[in-house]
A and B are shown apart, each in its own frame.
Chain A
Amino acid sequence: MTLDYIAIAILSSLSTASILLIATLGLAIVFGLMGVINLAHGEMIMFGAYAALLSTRLGVPFPLAVLLATGATALFGAVVEILIIRRLYGRMLDTMLATWGLSLALYQSAVLAFGSVTPGIGMPQMTVRIGQYGVSAYMVFLIFVAVSCVAGLFWLLTRTGYGIMARAAIADAETASAIGIESSRMNTVTFALGAGLAGFAGAILLPVFPATPSMGFALAIKAFLAVVVAGPLPLSGTVTAIGTLGTAGGITSSIWSTAAGDLFFFGTTILILRLWPNGISSLWRYKL
């Protein structure tokens, strides 16, 4: 017990939180840089998961399949932005409804195409051992993935022309346009980025979450709540929100049940929103 157990418990809750973070980042980026809540985010994760699954079935090595899935979902996101999101500019609630429709259309398409259950690809059989306890190496690897994602996004949004312009456009679209920034182009790229991140999440989590048509709903509940709690800052807000909510929910679900964990997650969300109605990061002064 004692030290080993605590170490392994910390490691496993860190990896659980990392999974949630990986699944949330795309949604958070789209909300933070476009002000749009993409209710089809969960299904875009599923899209990525199936894309990766099909690629591996065709013999593509897993790492390459992850890249392929990311690219395919990003492309899909760009198409969705041009065909749907762009036409609803300034109508936030209608945007949500349209993405919701998309969410269920994608879900049902997956049911029709793949049936409701598909075999997983199995987790690499490696274990990290601490004393007498062990945890799957892939779960530990996911912690590294989550950290890399956050770091990579921070780099993309603070060091590249696209990132700086996208942040300028969400801060003040009118002024941004008056200095030459074309916000509609920024939005297409941002939405594609968010979709790509979702696709990446679906693919990289494939060994942990087998691809099923309804996987999106399961992953999306917590992602939606985390984004609302996080508020306008997509990185610092989301990391903090998931740190708090994920830990609270994780502990509850390990003591009682997954459903209890979800309910607790929901309850904590409401409590936090009572204190910060526009999310915990609404008053923070950070870049992201």
Chain B
Amino acid sequence: MNSSVFTSRRLISPEQMLGSRWWWGPGLAVAALIGAASLFADPYLAYVASSWIIFGLLGLSLDLVWGRSGILSLGQTAFYGIGGYLGGIAAINLSELAGGTLVWSLPVGALAGALFAALVGGLIFYSRIGTLQATVLTYALTLVLWTAAVSFKITIGDAVVGGDNGLSDIPGFVSFTGEVMDPKGTFIVVLTVATVVLMLVQALLRTPFGTILSCIRMNPTKAELLGYDIRYYQLAVFSLSGAIAGLAGALYGSWSNYLSPSIFSPQEALLVPIYVLVGGRGTLIGPFVGAVVVGGLSFWLGGGVIGGQTTLIMGLGLIVLVLFLKRGILGTIMDVIATGQGSIRLNRTGGSVDDHASSLKIDLAQLRGLVGRRGANQPSLRSEGAVKRFGGVTPVKNISQSFSLGRVHCLIGPNGAGKSSFLRCCTGFYRLNSGSVFYGKEEITRWPMFKRARAGIGIKTQAAQVFDEFDVYTNLWIAAYRHHGNAAEAHIHSEQMLRMLGLMAKAGKPASELSHGEQQWLDIGMVLCTAPSVLLLDEPAAGMTGEETRHLSLLVRILAQEVVVVVVEHDMEFIRTLDAEVTVLHQGAVFAQGSIDDLRKDERILDIYLGRREHVRDL
């Protein structure tokens, strides 16, 4: 995707693990080792090891939503069980038609899991339910299915779902020639299916879709402010994870020939995050490592000794994992290796560890090509009687204000005048209590954030918002990609932006390692990459040096020729250089308007800034 310069880094994010390929080696080696051992030594081990791979696949379904997308689902076994039951029913009824059993059970299981997950996910994400609440819902769902499955009885064709008795006689792994496979064959089939799914998932996450998911995990608000409909992405990945879990369930049904309601039990469900945590969250291959390790341990150590205590040990194990082993086996190995590599690199480059202090070299000559007016119509942003209340406080009391093309617009006013709150009403972060907002001729009062961003309203919020774990290039690219919808064009756009910001040398640096001022510039660059028609800048000069402030002023003036620019600032010198139309807000309403020099002559404004009231002084 990119060829940016990689410099030393200290912490490896899941995305970076995915990018480097070395661990394919050990991963495959472990799989091959188990494969070889089971194939040549012990058919029973081959049989058992097949189940570990299936559990690994179930773990993968959780890692996809939790490790990569930040949604903790405790309901993966619900999709797993549903996929198993429905896949089993399909296999029982249809296998005689076409021989091979998995041809029927796997697609049906995956589809059932996906549809069910889509239903649950749709309700969670489109209602915008909180993350904590979503997790509780997924767990409650599992428990509800568990109780329901115990008494649920139905007969579909030859398949008999017998409540507590479960679903039996699920055909095993049968090849097209009608042969029932032996444990070794079963193992090979399971391993093949799991590998294909893993590779597909890895490939998918290397596409922009995967990058966007990671952005949503790091900062959902920023992702939406760039114009991404995060609900859609969350629903898509949740459904995909349901499909994988359903597929694993169908495999499991054929493997064990029998399913009981205990597949929905919390004891089963508990194992899924354990696989993920043991292996390493966000690594995708980690859950397989975790499942093999956990399965192997109970296989070789377990049996009679800990049989009855498995759940107890797993429960305590989960607590210990959460408290102490944050990065899992793969994550810990990665960290060790990264530290080693990092130090070698530093030695080679002569030990220049930290160049935070170096200032940016803004090249505004690059700017012209980057900003273009969208469409023919004149962009404008207008509010009418906007009111926003919180409890007894009303930060926006009544603001009717229009911003159109021409001079830069500045909003100033003492603290608490409602400047940032007003901008939030414009971007949709706040919903108005009354009044309306118009973009051009269209009323956008009820539009969600991403829709406004897509239409062309871009904001750099007061605190710079960047995707911490991604490098500088990717931060810009993800913004440009939303605008272009095309990786190649986004690449060109973001490279240009890198040159303009003078951040070329730091393109491969994680955004979290940038200085305060650099993050401000990066955020401004990201907003520009979305090619906004209306640009809102909330205290852009904060944390910038004098030199940087001068560049910023020039940048804003050039931009103002093409787009509507609204700047909230306290730095009066900066505002003066913008030659702006200044609006003074006071107590949530427009107090005065004019050029900065006019306003300076206005005693009333000095009064509100200095709080002058004759009677106070007499106390």
- Given a CB threshold of 8 Å, the question of whether A touches B is answered with yes
Interface residues of A (CB under 8 A from B): 35, 37, 39, 84, 87-88, 92-94, 96-98, 100-109, 111-112, 217-218, 220-221, 224-225, 227-228, 257-259, 262-263, 265-266, 269-270, 273-274, 277-279, 285
6 cross-chain pairs, A with B, having the tightest CB-CB distances, nearest first: A105-B315, A101-B318, A104-B315, A108-B312, A108-B311, A101-B319
**Cross-chain contact of B152 among A103, A259, A265 (Cβ < 8 A):** A259
Cα distance A225–B315 in the bound complex, in angstroms: 23
Partner of A262, one of B129, B137, B144, B323: B144
Assembled-state Cα–Cα distance A266/B146 (Å) = 13
Report which residue of B147, B309, B310 has the largest number of chain A beta carbons within 10 angstroms of its beta carbon: B147
Residues of A contacting B128 with CB < 8 Å?
277
Q: Which residues from A are CB-within-8-Å of B391?
A: 285
Question: Which of B195-203, B266-274, B550-558 is the interface stretch?
Answer: B266-274
B376 within 8 A of A: no
The answer, among A87, A107, A227, A277, for a CB contact under 8 Å with B136, is: A227
Q: Please, which residue of chain A has its CB at the minimum distance from the CB of B152?
A: A259
B132 sits at the interface (CB 8 A) = yes
Report B413 CB to chain A, min CB distance, Å. 25
Bound state CA distance, A105 and B313, in angstroms?
7
A266 and B140: CB pair below 8 A? yes
In contact, A277 and B129 (Cβ under 8 angstroms): yes
Q: Which positions 131-169 of chain B face chain A at CB distance < 8 Å?
A: 131-133, 135-137, 139-141, 143-144, 146-148, 150-152
Nearest-neighbor residue (CB-CB) of B314 within chain A: A104
- Contact at B319–A84, with CB atoms within 8 Å? yes
Q: Is B353 an interface residue (CB 8 A)?
A: no
Are A105 and B136 closer than 8 Å at their CB atoms?
no
Task: Let me know if A84 and B323 touch, CB within 8 A.
Answer: yes
Contacts A93-B132, A108-B309, A108-B310 supplied; 15 other A-B pairs, CB < 8 Å? A37-B135, A37-B136, A93-B135, A98-B319, A98-B322, A101-B270, A101-B319, A103-B266, A104-B312, A106-B315, A224-B139, A224-B140, A228-B136, A228-B137, A273-B133
Within the assembled complex, what's the spacing in Å between the Cα atoms of A84 and B309?
21
| Chain A hits for B25, CB < 8 A | none
A217 touches B143 (CB 8 A): yes
Complex CA–CA separation, A103 to B146 (angstroms) = 16
Chain B interface, number of residues (Cβ within 8 angstroms): 43
Contact partner, B123, options A103, A217, A257, A274, Cβ 8 Å: A274
Contacts of B266 in A (CB 8 A): 100, 103-104, 107, 217
Q: Can you report 6 A-B residue pairs in the complex whose CB atoms are below 8 A from each other?
A: A98-B319, A101-B318, A105-B312, A105-B316, A270-B123, A277-B133
A185 to chain B, nearest CB (A): 21
B147 touches A258 (CB 8 A): yes
Q: What residue of chain A has the Cβ atom nearest to residue B66's Cβ?
A: A93
* Minimum distance in angstroms from A269 CB to a CB of chain B: 7
Question: A268 to nearest B CB, angstroms?
Answer: 12
Q: How far is the CB of A47 from chain B (nearest CB, A)?
A: 14
CA–CA, A98 and B322, complex, Å: 6
Q: Does B317 contact A (CB under 8 A)?
A: yes
Bound-state Cα–Cα, A274 to B323, Å: 34
Asked if residues B141 and A266 are in contact (CB atoms below 8 Å), the reply is: yes
> Within the assembled complex, what's the spacing in Å between the Cα atoms of A238 and B140?
17
Given the interface contacts A37-B132, A262-B147, A270-B123, does A94 sit within 8 Å of B322 by beta carbon? yes
- B267 contacts which chain A residues (CB < 8 A)? 104
Q: How far is the CB of A258 from chain B (nearest CB, A)?
A: 7
- Bound CA span A265–B391, Å: 32
Contact call A101/B322, Cβ cutoff below 8 A: yes
Q: Does residue B2 face the partner (Cβ distance < 8 Å to A)?
A: no
Whether the Cβ atoms of B143 and A220 lie closer than 8 Å is: yes
Chain B residues whose C-beta falls within 8 Å of the C-beta of A285 in the assembled complex: 391
Bound: A96/B141 CA distance, A: 16
Contacts of A97 in B (CB 8 A): 72, 273, 277, 318, 322
In whole angstroms, how far apart are the Cα atoms of A111 and B129 in the complex? 36
Q: Is B351 an interface residue (CB 8 A)?
A: no
By the criterion CB–CB under 8 Å, are A87 and B323 in contact?
yes
| Min C-beta distance of A250 to chain B, whole Å | 16
- Please name the residue on chain A nearest to B127 by beta carbon: A274
Nearest-CB residue, chain A, relative to B119: A270
B133, B151, B273: the one within 8 Å of A278 (CB): B133
* 257-314 of chain B: CB within 8 A of chain A: 266-267, 270, 273, 277, 308-312, 314
Alpha-carbon gap, A277 to B129, bound state (A): 5
Q: Which residues on B sit within 8 Å (CB–CB) of A98?
A: 318-319, 322-323
Q: How far is the CB of A22 from chain B (nearest CB, A)?
A: 19
Give Cα A225 to B135, complex, Å.
11
The digit string for B43-72, where 1 denotes a CB below 8 A from any CB of A, is 000000000000000000000000000001
Min Cβ gap B276→A in Å is 10
Given A92-B132, A96-B135, A104-B266, the answer on whether A266 and B123 have CB atoms closer than 8 Å is no
Q: How far is the CB of A109 from chain B (nearest CB, A)?
A: 6
Q: Which residue of A lies closest to B141 (CB)?
A: A266
Q: How far is the CB of B430 from chain A (nearest CB, A)?
A: 15
Contact between chains at B137 and A269 (CB < 8 Å): yes
Residue B118, interface by CB 8 Å: no
Q: Are B317 and A221 in contact (CB under 8 A)?
A: no
Chain B residues whose C-beta falls within 8 Å of the C-beta of A93 in the assembled complex:
72, 131-132, 135
Residue pair A221, B147 in contact (C-beta under 8 Å)? yes
Is B130's CB under 8 angstroms from A277's CB? yes
Contact of B323 among A88, A109, A224 (CB under 8 A): A88
The answer for the CA separation of A111 and B309 in the assembled complex, in Å, is: 9
Q: In the complex the two chains form, what is the Cα distance from A96 to B130 in whole Å?
A: 14
**Please, which residues of chain A bring their CB within 8 A of the CB of B315?**
100-108
Chain B residues with CB below 8 A from A103, complex form: 266, 315
Q: Which residue of B lies closest to A223 (CB)?
A: B140
- Contact partners of A257 in chain B: CB under 8 A: 151
B575 within 8 A of A: no
The chain A residue with its CB closest to the CB of B310 is A108
In the complex, what residues of B have CB within 8 A of residue A279's CB?
133
Whether the pair A270, B137 counts as a contact (CB closer than 8 A) is yes
Instruction: Tell me, yes or no, whether B74 is within 8 Å of chain A by CB.
Output: yes
B486 to chain A, nearest CB (A): 34
Q: Which residue of B lies closest to A101 (CB)?
A: B318
Complex Cα distance A38/B316, Å?
A: 15
